[in-house]
Amino acid sequence: MAIDFGLEGAVAIVTGGGSRASGVGNGRAAAVLLAEAGAHVVVVDSAPQNMAETRSLMAERGTDALLVTADVTSPQECADVVRQAWDTFGRVDILVNNVGVAGPSGTVVDLDLDAWDQCLRLNLTSMMLMSRAAIPRMRAGDGGSIINMSSAVGLVGGHPEVAYPTTKAAVVGLTKTMAAHHGPEGIRVNAIAPGYVYTPMVHSQGIDDGAREQRRHAAPLAIEGTGWDVGDAVLFLAGPRSRWITGVVLPVDAGLTATLGSGGAPSVTSVPGPPKAPGV
């Protein structure tokens, strides 16, 4: 029997709902699953061709979406996305802030400063801007649910680069603060922290089968994560089945963050290092 997530007729905006490579990423999975649960889904991406496969997956499952091309680092374009959702469906209930990039390599000493600024805008400021546009619409309705995509690297140290984990840690702070600010308005704000998920972003950066195996065995469950695993977490946090949950950061990581002492922190394409001595 199908599970009723209480999302029939709800309106969800999913940023980063496409992908530059074929396959199922976190945003694509979230969009498809929300639509299957009965929501009207607005898929947002910076390039229209990135959303074609998302629409095809939806069509295979008997659903569809409103596709909107937008740069979510632009305040005006974020406002336009929300306006289109409102004008088309008459409400905004769910916002999934999924846009993100791996960002520049390097430490604070040697990273490219312009690339640092761009990473911050894409991975963090976009979430603030989309929330800024969506929250007034949620206030005008019955409240809402905002889900921000963080990462296991936002919860741990040891990452080989500085930009990406810094933005993902900042998403945790943004989520908790927004939850406190907007809970009295009936708006819940939570975050998901994926671990070693195999997505089109990972595949397109050239990870080989050996590295995939190392990543899989880095976590206690030893199961490779997919975008569908993250999408299922979005589906739960989006609707009334999680009505008493806000300000939470949910690791979806096969137990990776429960075993922090056994290796390096995850990155988009890196594999865990050798086991560390106790206490290191």
Which two tokens mark 36? 């299957």
Contact residues for 1 (Cβ-Cβ < 8 A; gap 6+) = none
Handedness of CA 100, 76, 89, 132 (dihedral sign): positive
Residue 38 lies inside a defined structural domain of this protein: yes
Total domains in the chain come to 1
pLDDT by position in tens, the chain (length 280): 678 999 999 999 999 999 888 899 999 999 999 999 999 999 999 999 999 999 999 999 999 999 999 999 999 999 999 999 999 999 999 999 999 999 999 999 999 999 999 999 999 999 999 999 999 999 999 999 999 999 999 998 888 999 999 999 999 999 999 999 999 999 999 999 999 998 877 776 778 888 889 888 999 999 999 999 999 999 999 999 999 999 999 999 999 999 865 445 555 444 444 333 223 2
Q: Domain range spanning residue 171?
A: 11-262
pLDDT of residue 56: 96
Closest by Cα among 129, 126, 139, 55 to 91: 139
Q: Is 164 labeled as catalytic in the residue annotation? A: yes
Residue 156 lies inside a defined structural domain of this protein: yes
Residue 73 lies inside a defined structural domain of this protein: yes
Contact residues for 24 (Cβ-Cβ < 8 A; gap 6+) = 32, 57, 199, 200, 226, 227, 228
pLDDT of residue 208: 85
Residue 277 lies inside a defined structural domain of this protein: no
Residue 2 lies inside a defined structural domain of this protein: no
Enclosing H/E stretch for 76: helix 75-89
Contact residues for 275 (Cβ-Cβ < 8 A; gap 6+) = 262, 263
- Domain of 17: which CATH number? 3.40.50.720
Handedness of CA 29, 30, 35, 41 (dihedral sign): negative
Question: Beta strands of the chain (E only): which ranges?
Answer: 11-15, 40-45, 65-69, 94-97, 144-149, 187-194, 249-252
- Residue 139 C-alpha from the chain's centroid: 23
Q: What DSSP character marks residue 225?
A: B
Helical ranges in 123-273 per DSSP H: 126-140, 163-182, 200-204, 209-216, 227-238
Residue tagged active-site, from 5, 164, 196, 198: 164
Residue 82 lies inside a defined structural domain of this protein: yes
pLDDT of residue 34: 98
Enclosing H/E stretch for 86: helix 75-89
Residue 255 lies inside a defined structural domain of this protein: yes
Amino acid symbol at 251: P
Residue 227 lies inside a defined structural domain of this protein: yes
